[in-house]
C-alpha cells in the first residue's frame, strides 16, 4: 500500500472515532439539565423566632405533583406532622400541622426532572432563640446538597469518550512515526 494513502486512512479513523464519541456523549447531554431548588421559605440556615406554618420550595422547572416529596424532620430525625405537599407550577408547599417546638429542623425534598431522573436535597432551619439552635450532636446529619442519581453515568460516558479520543490520537502518532522511518 502506498504510504500516501495512510494520512487519509488515519484521518478517516479519527473522524470515525470522534463521531462515535460524540454519538455516545450527545444523547446524555440533555440529562444534565436537571431541575434544581432556586429559593425556599424558610431559607437554608434560617433562624426563625416563630415556628413556620408552611415550607415553600421553588425550583427552576415545573414540578410533577405525583413525584414531589417534602419531609420536615427534627433533630431526632422524627418527621413533623404535615399535610401532603401541594404543587403549583415550579413551587411546592408543605403545610405543617401544629407549631414546631424550638430546635433545629431539616427539610428534605425529592422531585423528578423532566427527563425522569430524581433530584433530591435538603436544607436546614431552626426555631427559637439562636442559642436554642440544634447543637452539633443534635443536628441532623450534614444536609446533602442537591444531587442527581445518574451523575456517575455522565462521568463514565465522558471517560469513555476521552479514552476513545486518546486511542485515536495515539494510533495516529504511531502511524506517523512508522511513516517517518
DSSP class of 31: G
Our finding on whether 115 is near Cu ion (CB under 5 A) is yes
Closest CB to Cu ion among residues 31, 172: 31
Alpha-carbon torsion, ordered 43, 49, 53, 56, to 10 deg: -10
Shortest distance (Å) from residue 34 CB to Cu ion: 5
The reply on whether position 138 binds Cu ion by CB under 5 A is: no
Q: How far is CA 51 from CA 105, 165, 173, in A?
A: 11, 56, 67
Using the rule CB under 5 A, is 6 a contact of Cu ion? no
Q: Which stretch binds Cu ion (CB under 5 A): 96-104, 113-121, 135-143, 169-177?
A: 113-121
Distance, CA of 49 to CA of 95 (rounded, Å): 18
Task: Give the H/E segment covering residue 16.
Answer: helix 6-25
CB nearer to Cu ion: pick between 17 and 161: 161
Q: How many CB atoms lie within 10 A of CB 75?
A: 18
Binding mask 30-59 for Cu ion (x = CB under 5 A): -x----------------------------
For Cu ion, which stretch binds (CB under 5 A), given 66-74, 97-105, 115-123, 159-167? 115-123
On whether the CB atoms of residues 36 and 119 are closer than 8 A, the answer is yes
Residues near Cu ion (CB under 5 A): 31, 115, 117
Amino acid at each position: 500500500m502506498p504510504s500516501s494513502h495512510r494520512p487519509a486512512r488515519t484521518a478517516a479513523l479519527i473522524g470515525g472515532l470522534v463521531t462515535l464519541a460524540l454519538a455516545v456523549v450527545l444523547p446524555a447531554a440533555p440529562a444534565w439539565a436537571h431541575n434544581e431548588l432556586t429559593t425556599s421559605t424558610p431559607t437554608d440556615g434560617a433562624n426563625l423566632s416563630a415556628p413556620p406554618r408552611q415550607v415553600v420550595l421553588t425550583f427552576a422547572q415545573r414540578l410533577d405533583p405525583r413525584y414531589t416529596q417534602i419531609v420536615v424532620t427534627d433533630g431526632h430525625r422524627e418527621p413533623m406532622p404535615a399535610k401532603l405537599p401541594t404543587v403549583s407550577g415550579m413551587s411546592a408547599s408543605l403545610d405543617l400541622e401544629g407549631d414546631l417546638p424550638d430546635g433545629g429542623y431539616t427539610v428534605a425534598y425529592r422531585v423528578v426532572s423532566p427527563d425522569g431522573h430524581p433530584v433530591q436535597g435538603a436544607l436546614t432551619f431552626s426555631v427559637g432563640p439562636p442559642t436554642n439552635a440544634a447543637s452539633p450532636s443534635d443536628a441532623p446529619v450534614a444536609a446533602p446538597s442537591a444531587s442527581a442519581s445518574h451523575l456517575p453515568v455522565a462521568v463514565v460516558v465522558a471517560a469513555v469518550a476521552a479514552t476513545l479520543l486518546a486511542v485515536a490520537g495515539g494510533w495516529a502518532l504511531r502511524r506517523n512515526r512508522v511513516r517517518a522511518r
